[in-house]
Structure 1
Amino acid sequence: MGQGKEVKTRADPQVEIQERGEIFFFYRPKVNKEEAHSINDVQKLYIVMRPESGENPIEEKQDPLSGNEESHKDSEASSSSGGHGVEKVNIKEQILLRFIVMGKKSLPDPSKKSQPFWGFVEMVTKNAEHVKTALKGEEYETKTRGHRHKPPARAVGEGIYRILRHKPTPTRKHHTHLVYKLEFPSQTGEHEPQESLNIEPEGSFLIQIRNPEQGAGGGGGRGRGKGSGFGGLKRKRKAQFPAHLQAHLGHTRFGAADPPDFLNYEGCEFLLISASDDIEGELGIELEPDGGSDESTCDLLKIFGDDVEATPLLRGTWD
């Protein structure tokens, strides 16, 4: 499929493209449920982003010795280096994957534009095997409930995305959008799990990065408490941005995802706020995926293979 392309539908759409790439959606059924038949059976919603080009083809990510990518090799280095180590990645030549956990088990409802949904970056890696491991199931024992089964995640959407800088005006402050358009499941047929999880055929969200040096935990601020899934990470799990990125946030609690490199640091917390399910009408651009609806063009299957159950993605049904 690739990163697709965008077409301007207005002479001056007032947006600047910061990053292009592919986006994948997954859900995990609840513990001890091998299948999900409704959103009530869903435990977690995950997003995987693969940036492929942007304003700068060289992006910064957290140094592997300070994150999950190499932590199994050198845990002592991981704990001592903090989050400030920086690695340069050419996203045109190297695969880079962000594994994101949403606080709610759906995307924000596009009809409700005032309530943010919280999420955080769990992992940033150049190795797809690490994401495959995160999506797998697990058997474990607990003292109170005995043997437990965490089922594997299911793929539920594949498409292209853009992170956009919406140009400021006298009535509009500097902000950024995350917009996407699905290629799988196809436009025809069923879309029951996608509709239940608010994964629309296309969507636009304001994306705001949480300043790890301001405030503590969730709550506080309009729409940022109960109902948003905004629990906040514990201090030791929060992102530690290098000084030049942290400077972009200043003393604000939330700032624009500008540059998108913020999302390349594990523990980066953010808010998604519904803006529209009509990208062209809102922003003056139209996203066009490269491939067709044939399964042979599905990049998710090429990257993750048989390690992920893909019936919801390809058929638009729960299982």
Structure 2
Amino acid sequence: MPTTRRQTAIAEGKIKPEKNHAIGQKRRSSSAGASTIKKAKPRSKSSKEDVSREPKVHTGEKRRLGHGEEESDAAAHKPASKKAKPGAEQERTRIYESGTIERGHIYFFYRPRVMVEEVHSIDDIKNFHMLLVPRPPDFAISQSNKKGAKKPESFAEGELKVLEQGADAVPASDDATSTRKRYRLVTVGKKKLPDPEGEDSGSTRRKETFWATVTACGENLQELEKGLGEKTYETKTKGTRHEGPARLVARGGYAIVNSEGKTPSQRETHLGYHVSHPPPADLADVQTSLGIFSASSFVLQVKNPLAPATSPQQAHSKPAEYPEWIMNDVFGKPKGRGKHTKGRESYGLRFVSCETPELLDYKGAELLLIAARDGEEGLETSLGEGRGKALTKKQEEEALDTVEHVFNEIGLDLEKFPVESLEGTWI
């Protein structure tokens, strides 16, 4: 029984059947299938190439240069798929980045001791914190705001050379409207910053070296405000206990810069900052007691979590849980049953420079802060290539921002957090 118009026409004798019709259809179908397969091959190859290039983004170029500062930590730390893993391991063997690896805004806080309502000196302080909020470079935001401009991450190396010297260390201004920003809260053990003038031990001065720990990191400013806010809790032995909110004592811009070096021992990471609030002329006892200068820098090192603890406090704290690529390629942990790749110890290197800012993105990361230099000249010497001067200029401009704007940058409510400390008064 005919089922199509063509078959009906053949049955009625209106047209003659073609013997090669079905064969032709088959051939065309087969040809189309072959064509599809051939076209699919380049796409498969391209996707593989994309996977192999993917690890290059892990260094944070797009996040640091573009608007992607608000990218979630979960996305930043999402492990590679099984297909991407071999390529990722191959690309991550060269981790070290020289020059400016990060820039942003820095905030200094202190929290009063438990049940201390009013602070009069550093003896009444429970904790001293540095809050690091990474930002894209100012030039990237300025360029991207121009009509028809390239995306910040698409600038070629040659194009960067025409920028003002030191521009890579200047963080973009914050419009203070977003409640989601990447941040790290670093707690300094000595409750102040190391003094660049050093300790006077007889005829020589020794650079102060303090421990610090990344105690919180994330992107939700509401959680940050809650963590820094007022706390009341119950204990079985002492009953109700109260902690006042953290006090903001200074705000400014910072840059993390790696020096050139072929071997780990030749590399050095400098974290330099310049304060915008309060202005240099208004720095008072609160800031000086906490070791905060109008401009200063220190050498930054990161401890291998597998290295033995050097203090009882470290022995009881939970170390950072770094992924294998950091442990292997940065700290030099043995890969499988092979020998360790760096250092003399079985676990690799005990300390490393901050080869990539991702080392700071894990709670429990242990840091060494080694005093370097203070003042604007010292900042320039530490950061080099005009970076200190460029950072100073930018922070002098941002010093005109209101205190309300500063608090809004990090989502703090002025009704919950006192402002007197930012003016140099103990409270």
TM-score interval for Structure 1 and Structure 2 normalised by the shorter chain: 0.7 to 0.9
In structure 2, do the counterparts of structure 1 residues 133 and 264 end up closer, same or farther at CA, with 3 Å as the change threshold? Answer: same
RMSD: 2.8
Give the structure with the higher percent helix: 2
**Pairing 1:310–2:310 present:** no
Give 2:321's aligned residue: 240
Shift, 1:190, TM fit:
4.5
Shift, 1:299, TM fit:
2.8
Q: Give CA deviations for 1:185-244 in whole Å, capped at 9, x if unaligned.
A: 1122341100001011111111111100122x224xxxxxxxxxx831536x21111112
Which residue, 106, 124, 130 being the options, matches 2:192?
106
Is residue 272–residue 383 contact of structure 2 (8 Å, CA) maintained in 1? no
Give 2:101's aligned residue: 18
For 1:121 and 1:157, how far apart are their aligned partners in 2?
19
Which residue, 294, 310, 316 being the options, matches 1:218?
310
Q: Which amino acid aligns with 2:271?
A: L
Give 2:127's aligned residue: 44
Is residue 158–residue 300 contact of structure 1 (8 Å, CA) maintained in 2? no
In structure 2, do the counterparts of structure 1 residues 146 and 201 end up closer, same or farther at CA, with 3 Å as the change threshold? Answer: same
Which blocks of at least 5 consecutive residues in structure 1 are unaligned? 4-14, 59-91, 220-229
Shift, 1:296, TM fit:
5.5
**Pairing 1:266–2:360 present:** no
The correspondence of residues 196-215 of structure 1 with structure 2, limited to 5 A, is 196-215=289-308
For 1:231 and 1:283, how far apart are their aligned partners in 2?
32
Partner of 1:167, secondary structure, is: coil
Q: Give CA deviations for 1:116-140 in whole Å, capped at 9, x if unaligned.
A: 2111111111100111111112112
In structure 2, do the counterparts of structure 1 residues 297 and 281 end up closer, same or farther at CA, with 3 Å as the change threshold? Answer: farther
Give the structure with the higher percent strand: 1
Shift, 1:293, TM fit:
3.4
In structure 2, do the counterparts of structure 1 residues 53 and 246 end up closer, same or farther at CA, with 3 Å as the change threshold? Answer: farther
Q: Give CA deviations for 1:70-128 in whole Å, capped at 9, x if unaligned.
A: xxxxxxxxxxxxxxxxxxxxxx9962011121212111122115332111111111100
TM-score calculated relative to the size of structure 1: 0.74
Q: Higher mean Cα deviation, 289-298 or 25-34?
A: 289-298
For 2:322 and 2:252, how far apart are their aligned partners in 1?
29
Q: Which amino acid aligns with 1:268?
A: A
Shift, 1:27, TM fit:
0.1
For 1:211 and 1:185, how far apart are their aligned partners in 2?
36
For 1:199 and 1:146, how far apart are their aligned partners in 2?
36
Structure possessing the higher relative contact order (Cα contacts under 8 Å, 6 or more residues apart): 1
For 2:188 and 2:227, how far apart are their aligned partners in 1?
14
Give 1:82's aligned residue: none
How many residues are matched?
259
For 1:167 and 1:234, how far apart are their aligned partners in 2?
36
Partner of 2:234, secondary structure, is: strand
Q: Which amino acid aligns with 1:291?
A: E
Q: Give CA deviations for 1:22-69 in whole Å, capped at 9, x if unaligned.
A: 110100111111121111111110111101137xx99xxxxxxxxxxx
Shift, 1:155, TM fit:
0.3
Which residue, 120, 139, 148 being the options, matches 2:241?
148
Give 2:352's aligned residue: 255
**Pairing 1:291–2:398 present:** yes
For 1:49 and 1:191, how far apart are their aligned partners in 2?
23
For 1:316 and 1:169, how far apart are their aligned partners in 2?
44
Is residue 135–residue 308 contact of structure 1 (8 Å, CA) maintained in 2? no
For 2:259 and 2:217, how far apart are their aligned partners in 1?
26
**Pairing 1:119–2:119 present:** no
Identity %: 33
Q: Give CA deviations for 1:234-265 in whole Å, capped at 9, x if unaligned.
A: 36x21111112222011111111110111111
Shift, 1:16, TM fit:
1.1
Partner of 2:313, secondary structure, is: coil
Partner of 2:398, secondary structure, is: coil
For 2:319 and 2:373, how far apart are their aligned partners in 1?
29
For 2:319 and 2:124, how far apart are their aligned partners in 1?
29
Which residue, 81, 87, 97 being the options, matches 2:183?
97
Is residue 110–residue 249 contact of structure 2 (8 Å, CA) maintained in 1? yes
Q: Which amino acid aligns with 2:398?
A: G
